[in-house]
Amino acid sequence: SPTSAGVEIEHLTQNVLKSYRETCQLRAEDLQLRRWDTFSREEVCAYQRKPMEEMWQRCAGRITEAIQYVVEFAKRLRGFMDLCQNDQIVLLKAGAMEVVLVRMCRAFNADNRTVFFEGKYAGAELFRSLGCHELISSIFDFAQSLCALHFSESEVALFSALVLVNANRPWLQDQAKVARLQGHLDVAFRVLLRRTRREGLLARLPPPGRLRALCSQHVEQLQAFRRLHPGVLHAAFPPLYRELFA
């Protein structure tokens, strides 16, 4: 009946919001309070002087931490752990980095184009020694475009659940089951937007191809780094990062 369907959707929404709150890594209020706490000129120079390998290793470490929170988010999402393990892994392998990029908009100050990194807000120039200017610019542009949508925490929660539970990912075993969960999350997202009079958001969401392109750009840059510094990846990068991207 429409009523019990409505109750089900409401339960799902509450579950997604709770899962997100418990795994969001940094509280929005804290990020907001610190948004003008930027690295000093000297600190930026110190980062820029770091060897490329060290800076890659640090960034891989921060990405891996963020991904661990995304895995916890997935595990708490109602229905996710009912999927077969192959499909859980397929969805996380394809979607974890995309969710990290979506979550990053909370830690981005669009007024001065800085992102929260290792304790303070950093501009794109801080990442110079990585040697991937284009990738960093694309990520900053993406964060800037998401910030323009003025996502609420509930919207980030539901949108990131939908980025993760995507029945179009290749190699799924039980696509229908993933599609069903995706369908329920999609309804929950739409109900939330209707209730908050934010339906206009749907037309402004980034197309899936944009997130996919950013993730491939990251993997391409990692391959280029690997050619330049063979061995470093295996010796010094977090195993989870290697498993997902190498």
Partner 1 sequence: KHRILHKLLQNGNS
Binding site for partner 1 (CB under 8 A): 68, 71-72, 75-76, 81, 85, 88-89, 92-93, 239-240, 243-244
Least Å distance between CB 239 and partner 1? 5
Distance spanning both ends of the chain, measured CA to CA? 48
| Spatial distance between the Cα atoms of 204 and 148, rounded to a whole number of angstroms | 10
Q: Would you say 206 or 238 has its CB closer to partner 1?
A: 238
Least Å distance between CB 90 and partner 1? 9
One-letter amino acid at 171 equals W
Least Å distance between CB 10 and partner 1? 22
- 118-131 CB burial, b ≥16 within 10 A, e <16: eebbbbeebbbebe
**Best CA proximity match to 72, nearest among 187, 176, 160, 159:** 160
Least Å distance between CB 64 and partner 1? 10
Q: Would you say 92 or 164 has its CB closer to partner 1?
A: 92
| Spatial distance between the Cα atoms of 218 and 212, rounded to a whole number of angstroms | 10
Q: Would you say 31 or 240 has its CB closer to partner 1?
A: 240
Cβ-based burial of 101 (10 A; exposed 0-12, middle 13-18, buried ≥19): buried
Least Å distance between CB 201 and partner 1? 30
Other C-beta atoms lying within 10 Å of the C-beta of residue 77: 24
Q: Would you say 14 or 137 has its CB closer to partner 1?
A: 14
Q: Would you say 118 or 174 has its CB closer to partner 1?
A: 174
Q: Which residue has the tokens 């061995």?
A: 231
